[in-house]
Each structure stands twice: as structure tokens, then as C-alpha cells.
Amino acid sequence: MVLDKKTKTWEHKHFTDIIDYLDSNDVLVLNDTKVIPARLIGTRDTGGVTEVLLLKDLGENVWQTLARPQRKVHIGQIISFGDGMLKAECIEKEDQGICKFKLIYDGILVEILDKLGEMPLPPYIHEKLADKDRYQTVYAKHPGSAAAPTAGLHFTPEILKKLEEKGVELIYVTLHVGLGTFRPVEEEDLTNHVMHSEYYEISKEAAERLNLAKKNGKRIVAVGTTSTRTLESAYDNGFKETCANTSIFIYPGYKFKAIDAQITNFHLPKSTLIMLVSAFAGREFILDAYKEAVKEKYRFFSFGDAMFIK
């Protein structure tokens, strides 16, 4: 669905038509994070089963995780995965299922996760993926995400090639998707909602190219809410080379500084994602467009359809 936020109108198209909506005056910004098989099923020293979802690498083999059932996990307790190939010691408990674990292993963690871990699919998808790459963008490069930047799943190598042939500039940034992106908003007062921070990077080259695009009046099109949050977090009278954590929460009333258009999926109610999109295009307009999408049987959520908001 193509939305024009100025005229408050929409059109129904196929995703391959995105090629017709972008040209040499556009910069397309994509999040090249790579999803790791971050879902681990282990056994506590008491014999009970615990699921651990790795969310964020805090350094020195300490990870922020989502543990279920959290009430059965105690500080100092060891959880074992794959007959002890990987162990995790609980060193801190927070609310809403969050635990910090110290990982204990020999070898290379990424290789161990490839053997033991499962792709952390959204809870409404009940089948295991036969092919782990189905939950990666075709340009995924830097491992670290607990979820895919799903707006990017629509792109194929062929579409990207055609866009480049039209003169569209492709720029890659990285944001490792964690809990901040998909934790629902439960607060009546939005200002009380706490976003969990997520790690992002913008290279020196990407910052320079983005600044040149701004200077030349090019349109910056963010692919997905993660690219949007990365760019808005990093923009302060220009883009700078950045490696940092962001807990930016964008909701109606926010003034966008970095982006001019975005490609995004159809999101869950009460999510920070639908609030970000509503801030960009206007809440009433987005809700009307969602009603139209339901009527036209668009697919929602991670493996669903897309909208281009210009």
C-alpha cells in the first residue's frame, strides 16, 4: 500500500512496484543486522526446562535475555544447553522476564548457537523454519539481532539491482533488534513507557554519504522502523559516525529530522512500531489506512505485506 501523507490518499500496488516510486533523487537506508539463532532451550540444575532468548550482548560473555519461566530461575543458578556445550549462570533478575546471564563455553559462540539455537520467530508463528535464511534479509551482514528487521524481507537481489540501475543510492546502517522494538506499550501515559536500549552503528562512510544526500536535497527513505530509529537517534545537525545504544521512543508529536519517507510493515496494536508510523504519517490517517488494509485482506506483522509512506 502506497500512502501519501500530504494528500492523505493511498494506492494498492505490488512490492515490485517500489522501483517506480524511487529514483536518482532518493537514498534508501537499510538495516544490515543479521538474526542469530538466539532461542535456546535448556535444563536447570533442578531438571526443569527453561527457554532463554538472547537479546543483547553486554560484553564479557554477559547477555541480557528473556527467560521463561523466570520465577523458576534463581541468581547463581546454572542452565545447561546441548549436554553442557553451553552453560549460562544467572547473575541478575529484572522485571518482565528479563535476566542477565554469564555464558560459559569453549570455542566460538556464533558456531555454538548455530548448533544449539533456534531462530527467535514471533510468538504467533508456530512452525519451525526449515530454512533459517527465510528469517534474514538478503543483505543481512552483522550478527546480533533477536528479530529480523522485517520491512527488509520484501527486498530481493533483483529489486535492489534494479533500484541501483535507476540511480537510487543504497546506504547500510546496523541496529541489532532487541526487546525495545517489540515490547508492547502497557502504560496509559506514553511518557511512562520504558524502551529497552538497542545497539546501533553508522559508519563514517555512511554518515558522510547521508550528509551529502541531505545537502543535495535528496529524499532519505528508511527501510523499516529500525532504520528510522537508527537515523533519528544519530541525527544532530547532521549525521555522525556512531556506535551507541538507543532507547529512542517515537510517538505522535515527535518531529522527524532525519528521514523523508519510509517503507514499513503493518504492525501490532499497542506496539511502539504503530506509534512510530502514526507519528510519521498522522494517527487518524494510519488508522484509516489500516481499516482499508483489513478490508483488502492485506497480511499483517512480520511476514506480512508492506506500506510505503511518502
**Interval 132-164: pLDDT, tens:** 777 899 999 999 998 899 999 999 999 999 999
Q: How far is CA 145 from CA 17, 33, 39, 121, 183, in A?
A: 29, 6, 11, 12, 15
Q: What is the pLDDT of residue 45?
A: 87
Which residue type occupies 234?
A
CA 22 to chain centre: 23
Residue closest to 287 by CA, chosen among 306, 267, 263, 310: 267
For residue 95, count CB atoms less than 10 angstroms from its CB and return exposed for 0-12, middle for 13-18, buried for 19 or more: exposed
**Phi, psi at 193, each rounded to 5°:** -75, 130
Residue closest to 228 by CA, chosen among 193, 260, 184, 266: 260
Taking the model in full, what pTM does it have? 0.90
**Interval 84-136: pLDDT, tens:** 999 999 999 988 789 999 999 999 999 999 999 998 877 667 677 667 777 89
Could you identify the residue written with the cell 520465577? 71
- Alpha-carbon gap, residue 61 to 110, rounded angstroms: 12
| Strand 169-175 relative to strand 39-44, pairing | unpaired
Task: Show the domains of the chain with their CATH numbers.
Answer: 2-35+131-309 (3.40.1780.10), 39-116 (2.40.10.240)
Q: What is the pLDDT of residue 179?
A: 67
